[in-house]
Structure 1
Amino acid sequence: MAVAGLRTSPLPPTKKVGMNIPDLFCFFEHNFMKTTNLPGEFIPPDYFGGSIANIPATIASLLQIPFDGLPPLLEPMWLPISDQVERIVVLLVDSLGWDMYQQSKTDIGWLSSRLEIEAKITSVFPSTTVAALSSMWTGYAPAQHGMVGLRLFFPREATLASMLRFSPTFASFPNSLIDAGIKPEAFLQVPGFAQSLATYGIKTHSFKGYGIAYSALSRMLDRGVFETHGIVTAADLFVQLRDLLEETTGQLLYVNAYWPAIDTICHAYGPRHPSVGAEIMVTLNLLKTEFLDRLSPKAKKGTVLFITGDHGHVEAPVDQIINVDEEPTLNEMLLMRPAGEPRTPYLYARQGCQKSLLNYLKEEYPDKLMAMPSVQALTSGLLGPKPHAPDIAQRLGDVLATMRQGYNLLTRQEVEVPKLMKGRHGGMTAAEMEVPWLGIHLNS
C-alpha cells in the first residue's frame, strides 16, 4: 500500500550538468598543480566530488531529482545508505574539523558504532562560514555564488562591509546595506537549493540560532525554505528536530540544522582548549539522547542523517600577527584596508603598485603567507570552476594572500580589541580545510 507523500516510482535520473567528474578532475589537476605552487601543508578544496559544496547534489541524488550545480560527492560517500531515502537531515556543526572529530571519538563511541559512512571531505576556499554556508545552501563554489569572504568591498557604495552584519566594517549599523538598496535575497548569483527542492514538491526546513534566524545572511541562504526554526540551545535543537520528524512522517523532506557553539568556543579560547572537546561530546551525545533514542520507528522510516562541519580551526598566536599598520612599506602600497579574511586577505593595491605589492609579499613573508594575483586564484579554480559570478573579480582585489601556520593579517583596530581571537579559520591548512562527513540510515 502506498503511503501518502512517499515516492512509489523513481523520478528520472539526476541530470548531469556542467563538468562531469572526470572533467572536473582534469580541470583541478591541471590548474592547481601547474598554475599554483601551493605550500605542502595546504589542502585545496575538492570541488569535483569531495567538498561540502557537493552536498546539495548528493541530497538531490538521494532524493532522485535533477540538480544544476556542482556534482555530488563520490558514490562511496552516500550510495551505501541510498536505499528508500525520503527524508534527509544534515546536522552542520560549525567548526567541526576532521582533527577535532578524531580527537573526540573516544567520548562519542556510540556514534562510531552506528556510522555507515565515515569520510573526510574538504571545506571550500576560503574556509569561512559565510562562503561555506552559501555553498551548502546553493550547491555552487564561492566564485560561482559570489560570497567569497567575511568582508567584501562594494565599489558603488564605496564601503568595505561585514557580510555577517550586512553593514560597513568601520561601525556597527546592522543591515544598513539593505538601506543602501542591496537586497539579501538577490545577493547570491545562483538559485537557492531549497528553491530547487521546492520545484519537486520537497519541503526544506532550516534550524539555526534564534537571534540569527531572520538575519540578512539567513535571508540570502533560506530562499525557498518552507519554514525557519529558531533555536536556543543544542537540547532545544534536537527536541524541535524530533518533533518535526514525528509530525511529518511520510513526507518528502530536507532539514538543515546548524549549531554554532564550537566555533564560538574556538574563537574565544583556541581549538585545543578542553571546552572544545567537551562541547563536541555534549552536542553529539544530546543528538543521541534527545533525538535518535526518542524517535519513533515510523519517524525513522526512510530517514538519513548526515553530520558535517563547514570548516575547522587553527590556533592564532599573538606572535604570529602581521599588523598592517606597523608595516609602512606594505601600508603605502595598499589602497584600502584588506577585504576577505585575516587568514585570506584580498588586497587592493594603489594605482601602479599591483606588481610591487605582489613581489613585496613574496619576498618579505615567504614563510608566513602565500601570495598570488587574484586573477590567478580565479583561473586556477581555487575558488571554484567557471562560470563565475559576474562581479567576482572586483570582490577579490588585486592580490590574494593566504596565511601559513597560525599567521593573520590584521589592522591596528583588530589587534587592539579587548579579547583577541585565539582561534581562526579562512585559510588552506589541513586543520581548516578538512571536515568529517558522517552518515547513518535511521532504518538500520
Structure 2
Amino acid sequence: MMGMNHKEILEELRKKKIDEGLYLPHYERYSIANLMSSVLRHFGLSPLLEPYPLSEIIELNTKDKIVLFILDALGYNLYKRIFNHLKAKFKILGNIEFFPMSSVFPTTTASALTTLNTGLTPLQHGMVGYILFLKEFGLLANMIELTPVGMERDLLIKLGLNPMKFMNNPTIHELLKEGNVGSFTVTASVFKNTGFNRMHTNGSNVKTYQSFSDLFSMIRRILKNNKDEKLLLIAYWGLADTLGHRKGPLSDEYESEVFWILRMFEEEVLNKIPPSIFKKTLFLITGDHGQKPTRWEDEIWLISSDEFCSKLSIPPTGEQRMMYLFTKNKGIFKEFFEEKYKERAILIDSSYALEIGLFGFGEIHSNLIDRIGDFVLLAKGAYSFNYKYTGQERSLKGKHGSLSEDELFVPLIPIG
C-alpha cells in the first residue's frame, strides 16, 4: 500500500448518495472512466478526465505494459463476498488488497464497455443503455446486437449505421496508437466481427479465444511476443454475467464461475509469465458493473396496453432496473407514477439528470438528448420494471442498470 486505502475510496463513493441505497457514479475521480485516464497518463498521453489514483495504490514506475482483465458483472460486494469465502484457496489474489470504483450510468455492459474502450463518460460517447430509441433510425434498438429489438444481429449496419463513427470520438486504442503504444483486445470468437466489438476496438489488434485456456495462453503469447514494447491489453470474460442473471449473483454457480476463472488466471497467466516480463507488467482485474439479486415477486411487468404505457408516446427503453420514459404529458405521468410506484423507483427529470452529472461530464454527445426521454426511472431495492418487447422476456435472478452499491461499485484488483 502506498497512499490511498479501500476504506477512504469507499467513503468517497458513498458521499454521492442521491436516494436511499442509490448513488451517483464518481466521474470526478473514482470511476472506470477515470481509470482509463490513469492508463493514458501512465503512457504519457493526456488524460480525458481526472485520473483514478492508480499510482497511490501500486508502484507504476517499472511498468511498460498494462493488462486489464474485465469480468462482466464482477461487482465490488460480490468479489468481497467471494474473497472472504475463498481467500485461502487463491494462490496470489488472497494476499492482494483490492479497491472500489464506480461503474457508469446506466450500470450495463453497453455503456460500461464503451467507457472502458474510450475513456469517455456516457454523456460523451452516447451509448446510454441496452435498449435505446435511435431517433436517426426511427426505432428501438438493441445496442449489444446493433439491431432493431427482436431482429437479427447487426441489421442496423445494413441500414446505414457505421460502427466506427457511432460515438463521434476515438477509441482509447486509437489514442494509444498515436502515442506509439501498442493495443490488444482479447475477446470471445463469437464477438470478433460484430458491430459492437468493432465500435470498441478500432485501432486495436484483436485476438479471439474459444475457451478460458485459449484466453490465457493468448494473453501470455501477446506479452511474450511484445516483451520490449509498451502496450495495453484488454481481455474480456462474459459468462459470470450470464450465470448471475440465470442463477443469481449469490448462487453457488456464480461464485464458482468467478473463483475458478480468477484461479486459472493466477495459474495460467500470473504464474507462467517469465519474471522479466512480469516485473514490467501491471495486471488490473475489474468488472464493468455489478449485479443485484432479484426475485420474481418484485418484478413489475409492463405491456403496451396497460395504464403505465398508455401514458407514454413510445415503449420504455433502457432495461429492467432503469428506464428512459418518453411521455405524452410529463405532469400527468409524474402524478400517476408518484401515486402508484414511488416506493419501488425514483423518477428523475432528464434535464435534471444532466445537471447532476448522472451520465458524466464533458462535451455532450450530439444524439444523447434524443435517447434519454423526459424521465429516467431508477429502480429501488430489488424491484424491476420489465417491458415485453417481443414476448420472449423472462424473469431473471440477477439484474443491473440502476445505482445500488451492488450494481454500481466494482473492484479494482492491482497485481504487479
**TM-score normalised to the size of structure 1?**
0.86
Whether contact under 8 Å (1:94, 1:258) holds in the other structure is: yes
C-alpha offsets along residues 35-81 of structure 1, whole Å, 9 cap, x if unaligned? xxx21201210011101111211112222x12251221025654x32
Tell me the equivalent position of 2:300. Answer: 322
Paired with 2:80 and 2:182, the residues of 1 have a C-alpha distance of 34
CA distance 1:72–1:365, shift in 2 (3 Å): same
Tell me the equivalent position of 2:280. Answer: 302
Question: Does residue 372 of structure 1 match 2:348?
Answer: yes
CA distance 1:366–1:136, shift in 2 (3 Å): same
CA distance 1:418–1:136, shift in 2 (3 Å): closer
**Structure 2 counterpart of 1:405, from 377, 381, 394:** 381
CA distance 1:132–1:240, shift in 2 (3 Å): same
Mind listing any 5+ residue stretches in structure 2 that lack a counterpart?
1-13
Tell me the equivalent position of 1:336. Answer: 314
Whether contact under 8 Å (2:35, 2:54) holds in the other structure is: no
Q: CA deviation at 1:327?
A: 7.6
User: Which amino acid letter does the alignment assign opposite residue 369 of structure 1?
Assistant: A
User: Which amino acid letter does the alignment assign opposite residue 248 of structure 2?
Assistant: G
**Structure 1 counterpart of 2:160, from 177, 181, 202:** 181
Describe how 1:217-236 pairs up with structure 2 within 5 A.
217-225=196-204, 227-236=205-214
Paired with 1:77 and 1:147, the residues of 2 have a C-alpha distance of 31
C-alpha offsets along residues 166-220 of structure 1, whole Å, 9 cap, x if unaligned? 1111x32211111111101111132210111000111100011110122111111
Whether contact under 8 Å (1:67, 1:196) holds in the other structure is: no
Whether contact under 8 Å (1:197, 1:203) holds in the other structure is: yes
CA distance 1:230–1:421, shift in 2 (3 Å): same
Residue 218 of structure 1 aligns to a residue in which SS?
helix
Tell me the equivalent position of 1:71. Answer: 50
Tell me the equivalent position of 2:369. Answer: 393
Q: CA deviation at 1:147?
A: 0.4
Whether contact under 8 Å (1:345, 1:401) holds in the other structure is: yes
Describe how 1:98-137 pairs up with structure 2 within 5 A.
98-105=76-83, 106-108=85-87, 109-115=90-96, 118-137=98-117
User: Which amino acid letter does the alignment assign opposite residue 246 of structure 1?
Assistant: K
Question: Does residue 429 of structure 1 match 2:404?
Answer: yes
Describe how 1:223-262 pairs up with structure 2 within 5 A.
223-225=202-204, 227-262=205-240
Whether contact under 8 Å (1:358, 1:372) holds in the other structure is: no
Paired with 1:172 and 1:75, the residues of 2 have a C-alpha distance of 42
User: Which amino acid letter does the alignment assign opposite residue 424 of structure 1?
Assistant: K
Paired with 1:123 and 1:172, the residues of 2 have a C-alpha distance of 29
Whether contact under 8 Å (2:283, 2:414) holds in the other structure is: yes
Q: CA deviation at 1:232?
A: 1.6
Percent of residue pairs identical? 25
Whether contact under 8 Å (1:184, 1:216) holds in the other structure is: yes
Q: CA deviation at 1:324?
A: 2.1
Tell me the equivalent position of 1:56. Answer: 36
Question: Does residue 195 of structure 1 match 2:170?
Answer: no
**Structure 1 counterpart of 2:265, from 287, 290, 307:** 287
Tell me the equivalent position of 1:20. Answer: none
Question: What is the RMSD of the two structures over their aligned residues, measured on CA atoms?
Answer: 2.0
